Structure 1
Amino acid sequence: MKVTVGPGQYIRNIGLLKEAGTYIKNFGKTAALIGGHNSSEIVEVSLRNSLLENGILLKQTLWYGGESSRANIDRLVAELTDKNIDVLIATGGGKAIDTVKAVAYRLNKPLVAIPTIAATCAAATPITILYSNEGEFIGIERRAKAPELVLVDSEIIMNAPVRYLIAGIGDTLAKWFETKTSVKKAVPTVFNQTAVAIAGQVYQTLLQIGKEAVNSVRTRKVTKEFEDIIDTIILVSGSVSGYGGDDCRTAGAHAIYSGLTIFPEVHQTYHGEIVAFGILAQLCMEKTSEDELKPLINFYQEIGLPYSLKQMGVRSLTDSQWQKLGEITVTIEDMANMPFEVTPEMVIEAVRQADKIGKGMLPAVLPTWQ
């Protein structure tokens, strides 16, 4: 049995980036930084100085390509092969880190992740979520590695737009709803039962302090609640997949997210925001009553998560678009984790029902980003 619970080491602190070299020096003398344009700009100067202070040369800074696609992974592997790089450093959000996890696997290099947002658990998992170059979900790539080291600078996360943290809460909420569903198909083991227990605690943590954490970002004040939510999103939620493995992976909520990515209008909505709506649709598929859904939607309203298609830019769908959504969604690997067979018609009905309930709770005026 082989279990990868998470990264080799996780360190989180205010101003940690200035000390990054003291930890990275354990992996070699030369490094390449790979990430998004904004994230690389945020970390490069402080990181380069810290590396130099510890005898490490940052030889290259590369853009990851904008999507965690096979083409970008192949391009980076070709770019870095035979370049005498000891350690790869990934920075940015989930897609950037996922891309470099696959590159590090193929090159057999140590990997350090420096997230600049707390929007997913990508830094703590040994898989890569693949997309096309246009942003449509492709599948799960298991030829990827969990980082040897994750460095989280609370100040950097604090300075990111609050919407990223909100999206991270949405993505992390799904750990509970999907884990307790997908595990029904598995034989109980100490690992998957531990994963379920952690997922339940993650859910309670988000409900209890999620609003306070979001308010901390809005007031630009690093609080215990804020740092607890960072750790919950990036590390603790990732350990659910680590302990549970394929027994406790994503399910209907992520499958519906992936299906919705066929519509270009949702590409301006963040991963965790769409997943949050996917949770509602999954619950409808599971015959959850409207009265049971409303308290969860109330929480969405408190922190700013979407709960209708309109909030994600989808104003109307033709009959053929609805059919395409249903047909594609049931082919997504995540949907196979549901404890019953799901048909395209079930997906369409669930999304329609979730949207109807959500629209019934919309305020008269939507937030400006919606």
Structure 2
Amino acid sequence: MRKILISPSKYVQENGALENLGEYVLSFGKKALLVASEEDCSRVQGTLDKALNKKAFQIVYGGFGAECTGEEVERLISVCKEKQCEVAIGLGGGKALDTAKAVADASDLPVITIPTIASTDAPCSSLSVVYNDKGEFQEYRFYKSNPDVVLVDTAIIAKAPVRFLVAGMGDALSTYFEARACRRAFASNIPGGKSTKLAIAAAKLCYETLLEDSLKAVAACKANVVTQALENIIEANTLLSGLGFESSGLAAAHAIHNGLTALEETHHCYHGEKVSFGTIVHLILENAPQEEIEEVYAYCKSVGLPTCLADLGVKEVTDEKVRAVAKLSTAQNETIHNMPFEVTMEDVYAAIYTADKLGRN
């Protein structure tokens, strides 16, 4: 059996980490393309200025639109080539980081990811989720390696709106259950091998950390301060979830997320908010023990994650809408087919209705 574990080359998490950006840029070159929105740049410009004063390197501001689209990637590849950049940096949320990874891969350059929110495990992964300009899921793009450096400044994340942190918890929530399903099915992970014991352990530790520290981390984030609980949740949302999902595999929860993008009402929701509901549907599909399902529902309610379609903005639930989600979730190449049993569109249709009913109650 071929087992594969992949991970970023270097993961650095620290209060004030961004001030040392030059140290990591200069290990690759002097000129860096920065993929970041104007809003995210303005949030951290003071710290970036300190980093530029500390070390002699250059930043080319490439900007970033609202979505990781093929068009946005091509635009930034052109900027990177024209300015002769030697490293790509993604700064912001998951979509900006995914775009930077796509640009770096196409340009054969190293990439540094700098999350300003702990909303997904995108900073550590070797893939990008590509959408169209309407926010609908288009494809996964897979790369030959993970980011060269993941630089996590916990002070910046502590000052971000708490909803982003909670959304990251929703994304991380799925990690263990999807890893467990892939292990049971002997399904392949993202790099095409089977899961290692270390990857499964990371996924399980991710879930245990969420249950232990989430409420304390939410309180710290609301106060804009860094505590050990917040540090732990940032690590769970970013590193443990990243290692767990990529080296163990995805299953139903993320497929349901992709299916939910078929409903325009859900487009205002963050990735992890949709994944958290997908996790509940995942557990319904595998007929998980009642106490486990109740534990997940209770956790979601305690931190404010969606437990029903209304929480995702779907006020009027119709057969047509649920079937649209079920159809997209069970597309030929979807990760739902990593479940340890066959899953049909009708199975997903029934599980969505069941999860929605239980969540409303």
After TM superposition, the score normalised by the length of structure 2 is: 0.93
Cα distance in 2, alignment partners of residues 147 and 44 from structure 1? 23
Please state how far the C-alpha of 1:194 moved relative to its aligned partner: 2.4
2:36 aligned with 1:32, yes or no?
no
2:177 aligned with 1:177, yes or no?
yes
Cα distance in 1, alignment partners of residues 187 and 26 from structure 2? 43
Please state how far the C-alpha of 1:28 moved relative to its aligned partner: 1.1
Q: 1:210 aligns with which of 185, 208, 214?
A: 214
Please state how far the C-alpha of 1:104 moved relative to its aligned partner: 0.2
2:341 aligned with 1:337, yes or no?
no
Work out whether residues 10 and 150 of structure 1, in 8 Å CA contact, stay in contact via their aligned partners in 2. yes
SS in structure 1 of the partner of residue 267 of structure 2: helix
Please state how far the C-alpha of 1:52 moved relative to its aligned partner: 4.3
Output one character per residue of 1:131-163: Cα deviation in whole Å (capped at 9) or x when no partner: 112111122111364221111111100000001
Cα distance in 2, alignment partners of residues 235 and 67 from structure 1? 23
Instruction: Give the share of equivalent positions with the same residue, in percent.
Output: 35
SS in structure 2 of the partner of residue 280 of structure 1: helix
After TM superposition, the score normalised by the length of structure 1 is: 0.90
Q: Any unmatched runs of 5+ in structure 2?
A: none
SS in structure 2 of the partner of residue 75 of structure 1: helix
Work out whether residues 68 and 131 of structure 1, in 8 Å CA contact, stay in contact via their aligned partners in 2. yes
Which residue in 1 is equivalent to 2:141?
141
Cα distance in 2, alignment partners of residues 107 and 51 from structure 1? 24
The number of residue pairs the alignment matches comes to: 355
Which residue in 2 is equivalent to 1:7?
8
Output one character per residue of 1:293-347: Cα deviation in whole Å (capped at 9) or x when no partner: 2222111111111101111110113332222222111005211211222111111
Cα distance in 1, alignment partners of residues 105 and 89 from structure 2? 13
Which residue in 2 is equivalent to 1:125?
125
- Amino acid in the other structure paired with 1:156: I
SS in structure 2 of the partner of residue 268 of structure 1: coil
Cα distance in 2, alignment partners of residues 187 and 339 from structure 1? 8
Work out whether residues 110 and 147 of structure 1, in 8 Å CA contact, stay in contact via their aligned partners in 2. yes
- Amino acid in the other structure paired with 1:112: I
Ranges of 4+ aligned residues in structure 1 off by more than 6 Å: 187-190
**Structure 1 residues 239, 288: CA separation in 2 closer, same or farther (over 3 Å shift)?**
closer
Please state how far the C-alpha of 1:10 moved relative to its aligned partner: 1.4
Cα distance in 2, alignment partners of residues 289 and 152 from structure 1? 36
Work out whether residues 118 and 165 of structure 1, in 8 Å CA contact, stay in contact via their aligned partners in 2. yes
Cα distance in 1, alignment partners of residues 221 and 187 from structure 2? 41
**Structure 1 residues 35, 4: CA separation in 2 closer, same or farther (over 3 Å shift)?**
farther
Using the TM superposition, name which of 180-189 and 69-78 deviates more: 180-189
Which residue in 2 is equivalent to 1:367?
none
Output one character per residue of 1:88-120: Cα deviation in whole Å (capped at 9) or x when no partner: 111001111011101100101121111100011
Cα distance in 1, alignment partners of residues 144 and 134 from structure 2? 21
CA RMSD, Structure 1 to Structure 2 (Å) = 2.0
Work out whether residues 187 and 194 of structure 2, in 8 Å CA contact, stay in contact via their aligned partners in 1. no
2:229 aligned with 1:225, yes or no?
yes
Work out whether residues 274 and 312 of structure 2, in 8 Å CA contact, stay in contact via their aligned partners in 1. yes
Q: Any unmatched runs of 5+ in structure 1?
A: 361-370
Matches within 5 A, 1:1-370: 3=4, 5-58=6-59, 60-143=60-143, 145-186=145-186, 191-242=195-246, 244=247, 248-288=248-288, 290-331=290-331, 333-360=334-361
